[in-house]
Amino acid sequence: MKKRKFGLAMSLVLAAGTFLSACGGGEGNDAADGDNGGGDSTENNFTVAMVTDVGGVDDKSFNQSAWEGIQAFGEENGLEKGTDGYNYLQSQSDADYSTNLNNLVRQKFDLVFGIGFMMEGAVNEIAQQQADAHFSIIDAVVDQPNVASVLFKEQEASFLAGVAAALTTETNKIGFIGGMESEVIERFEAGFRAGVQAVDPAITVDVQYAGAFDKAELGQTIASTMYSSNIDVIFHAAGGTGNGLFKEARDLKANDPERKIWAIGVDSDQTAEGVVEAGGEEHNIVLTSAMKRVDVAVQDVAKHAMDGDFPGGETTTYGLAQDGVGLAPLNEELENKADIETAVNEWIEKIKAGDLAIPGTLAELETFSAE
């Protein structure tokens, strides 16, 4: 497997330089609306599709970001939703992954994405069976010549989120909710804890895993326990499970408008999930979000494939230096917003300059020093 550190030239322009750049349920094996059944792609159209993991295309996070990237690619290239343009299939369980991937290949899509590390086995299996098809997997490496693998330095975005959390907390108690234990979520956890530690090693971080990416009710239960223990900032890397965090924070804010309570989003800018009416005024409980530009990666791989430069057999990593990850704008209600912005931007410059390597594993975290 060839590996390249952002070996693909970024063909899409991201919002500029600082962290202030703005920066899935449904029918299991059924095609998304607009699919009228299998069929060949038209002669001049490059067609692209994706299979969601169990989080679903409307998870307000990882899968949704990927779908937005495919939609943007389709619109930019004059494609329509359906088998002659761009589409998706939604998975209700992991048993759907292989079937959905096969269905899209049979519909003759030129490029098929598997979204999420949970699809690694299915992509590997179908890629071997369908050697003439082109696949891409997000957040995993599949060592096949017809698979383009995409990874991110999640630890860099979550480090910035940790800095922001540590400079916001008034109780010196912070929470982290993970979805399922994996290398990807470990990168989020390690980076976040490193960011908190870089500001103040005395701040405690309570880490809990839900064991699922699609259980909002479980996310709410975990968040409730954390907030009741005097934690005032919680970061989630849990997909749809994290929606429960936002609900709990909104409910608590609505019941006590004076309470300073915060949630940090993931993957996409999840500011919209924080709006709440409290004390007759509109507030927002989302402090910021650790951005992972899955949408940009999907568009980038699709463009290279369309241009005849499909990076099969290669692994491309998107980090902060490539604007592949970052931090969403800070909440305007923060009293020390300007100070946090300054601090975060200073850390960004250090990371981009190569002066600070952010730990991507818990083992690396043990020996991490920000000095």
User: pLDDT by residue for the chain (371 residues), tens digit each?
Assistant: 444 433 333 333 333 333 333 333 333 444 454 443 333 444 468 999 999 988 889 877 789 999 999 999 999 999 999 999 999 999 999 999 999 999 999 999 999 999 999 999 999 999 999 999 999 999 999 999 999 999 999 999 999 999 999 999 999 999 999 999 999 999 999 999 999 999 999 999 999 999 999 899 999 999 999 999 999 999 999 999 999 999 999 999 999 999 999 999 999 899 999 999 999 999 999 999 999 999 999 999 999 999 999 999 999 999 999 889 999 999 999 999 999 999 999 999 999 999 999 999 999 999 999 98
CATH number of this structure's domain 154-291+330-360: 3.40.50.2300
Q: What is the greatest pairwise CA distance in the chain? A: 62
Q: How far apart are CA 212 and CA 9, in angstroms?
A: 34
Residue 335, classed as helix, strand or coil, is coil
pLDDT for 45:
87
Distance separating alpha carbons of residues 28 and 158, to the nearest angstrom: 32
Range(s) for CATH 3.40.50.2300 in the chain?
A: 2-152+293-322, 154-291+330-360
The CATH code for residues 2-152+293-322 is: 3.40.50.2300
Determine the pLDDT at residue 323. 84
| Three-state SS at 347 | helix
Half-sphere exposure of 128 (CA within 13 A, CB side): 7
So what's the pLDDT on residue 32?
Answer: 52
HEC states along 23-78?
CCCCCCCCECCCCCCCCCCCCCCCCEEEECCCCCCCCCCHHHHHHHHHHHHHHHCC
- Cα–Cα distance measured from residue 248 to residue 227, given in angstroms and rounded to the nearest whole number: 9
Handedness of CA 37, 41, 42, 47 (dihedral sign): positive
Report the amino acid identity of residue 341.
E
